[in-house]
Amino acid sequence: MEMECADSHALLAEHNSHDRAISETRGNQNHEHSTTRNPSGMNTSTKDVLNPNTSHQLRYCDSLFTYLLGLNVAVVVFMAVAFGLPNMSNLYFTIHPSASSHGIKLFGIAILTSVLAAFISFLWLDILQRHALRVLSATVRLSILVCLVLGIISFYDAGIGGRAFGFINLFSSFFLFLYYMNSRPSMAFASSNLRLGVRILQKFPQVFYFTGKVVLVQGIWTVIWLGGVLGILSMLTYRLHDANASGYVAIFALLLSYFWTVQVCKNVVHCVVAGTVGEWWYGSSNSETVLRAKVRTLSSSFGSVCLGSLVVAFLSTARTFLDLFPRRGGRQSANACLDWISGIVMHHAQYLNKFAFCHVAIYGSSLGKAGTDTLALLRNRGWTALVNDSLISNVLSVGGLMVGLLSGGIGASWLYVTLNCTETEVALHPEECETFNVVILSFVICSTAAYAICSTISSVLESAVITVFICFAEDPAVFERYHPREHLELVTAWSTYKPDLFLQSV
């Protein structure tokens, strides 16, 4: 133990001396170029960072995608008003009688499950803030248990497919167990970073108020989108039980439209948090920090937010579409390969977006330049391997998945009870009592809306942690200058749990 403490203090001393040397060098450079300022009025020791006390002209980046998002919203609103509202009261999925139409039932169920999802998500966020390490550990252990149980249950399915699925789950549980045993230092490291992120956010409670407003906007968008969905269903109601090209195209377009706007909401929160944490990091925060971050995000950086969100939304739609609908030819078909490829590409695109958006929020860069600068920064620091160690993101995703499954299960069960035919009705009209596709559709709608809400709410914590990570890679010296206590805690965590990566950065 004494040797470990000695090593930790030695690393800390080396890092502090290195930071002071960098600070002195950059200070001299800043003195020589003190009159240089970029068009955005940004100013910092390493790059141009926002000076909140200086009026500056905002640079609008990727503005085309702002107009495309507006067009997307306008089309969905038109579908909701022109087709959804007039036909909602006349939309029935089966011949089973009901006090109100099945369209109105689906609409109300989706809204109620979304409200439930928002409540559970804020509760989940509070638990994660208070018990970070326990939640991180419990989530991995729960994943092991779920895979093990699914593997055992699958062996009861007579056939090669069930046994193959069982072996896959058993192997998954085994590898998750190995990951859990080897990732305890990573859990402690992630927990320390999460605590720092929570401490920063507690200084700016306006961030949580803003997140609540964004969730409200997201809920309104969900209501409008549901109106558009009902409009499409009213035109396809007689072909809903059959697979057809027009139905697939309509569902793909609706999913893309929904995912894009939801991703924009989520990334708006991410950029506001990143801009707030960035100003705090560079010692320029005050009572209007969150307001400035909101103005920058919703004006000059909004086009970049829309562009990055569209990329992830398209990949999410493609993967969801491939997962939900039948694959002709089985899992060995081209669709299965596309599903696997889209999952890998989406994983990397999401992480590139998350880190790049920090540069967008702090430095006002376009998304392309922000992505290039972020990759160069991580490579120079030797931290690219740490980017893939996404323990916090995985835990938040599991939380969102649980909220989505719960809300989707409640919504689908509720709708099934509403429209399920009696035995007599089934005997007389079997085709008009088919409920499978409708129940699956209701599950997708409710679970997708719930997952999106939970993802937006929980992204507050992840955004704070990612911004701390990027700022620490960018300029640790200024962190020590303005926040010495937090700097000491963060450096101690790095030197204790990630000494190899820590040494690469000094």
Cα–Cα distance between 349 and 365 in angstroms, integer?
A: 18
495 vs 391: CA distance, rounded Å: 19
The pLDDT value recorded for residue 330 is 46
pLDDT at 58: 60
Q: How confident is the model at residue 33 (pLDDT cuts 50, 70, 90)?
A: very low
Percent of the chain with pLDDT over 90: 17
pLDDT of 126 > 70? The answer is yes
Of the listed ranges 23-32, 236-245, 259-268, 427-436, the least confidently predicted one is 23-32
What pLDDT shows up at residue 10?
45
Q: How confident is the model at residue 283 (pLDDT cuts 50, 70, 90)?
A: confident
How does the average pLDDT of the chain come out, rounded?
76
Per-residue pLDDT, 303? 93
What value does the mean pLDDT take over residues 186-207?
84
Residue 173 banded pLDDT, cuts 50, 70, 90: confident
Sign of CA dihedral 452, 455, 460, 465: negative
| Two tokens, residue 117 | 């999802």
Looking at 315-441, which runs of residues are DSSP E strands?
Answer: none
Cα separation, 205 vs 273, whole angstroms: 11
**pLDDT class for 24, splitting at 50, 70, 90?**
very low
pLDDT of 296: 92
| Residue 310 or 128, more confident | 310
| 328 close to 436: Cβ distance less than 8 angstroms | no
Q: Per mean pLDDT, which of 270-284, 461-475, 479-493 is the most reliable?
A: 270-284
Q: What is the per-residue pLDDT for 348?
A: 67
pLDDT attached to residue 377: 83
Place 350 in a pLDDT band, splitting at 50, 70 and 90: confident
DSSP state, residue 33: T
Residue 271, pLDDT above cutoff 90: yes
Band (32; pLDDT cuts 50, 70, 90): very low
pLDDT range class, residue 210, cuts 50, 70, 90: very high
Q: Of 40-49, 113-122, 370-379, where does mean pLDDT reach its minimum? A: 40-49
CA distance 291 to 272: 9
Integer Cα distance of 389 and 377 in angstroms: 17
Average pLDDT score over residue span 413-442 = 77
Q: In this predicted structure, which of 11-15, 203-207, 447-451 has the lowest mean pLDDT?
A: 11-15
Burial of 407 (0-12, 13-18, 19+ CB in 10 A): buried
Q: Per-residue pLDDT for 332 more than 70?
A: no
Q: How far is CA 415 from the centre of its chain?
A: 28
Taking 60 as the threshold, does the pLDDT of residue 378 lie above it?
Answer: yes
- Residue range 71-96, pLDDT digits in tens: 999 999 988 888 777 776 676 776 66
Q: Which of 458, 449, 463 is nearest to 404 (CA)?
A: 449
By mean pLDDT, which of 271-285, 374-388, 399-413, 448-462 is the weakest? 374-388
Higher pLDDT residue, 294 or 104? 294
Q: Is the pLDDT of residue 473 over 80?
A: yes
Highest mean pLDDT among 40-54, 182-196, 316-330: 182-196
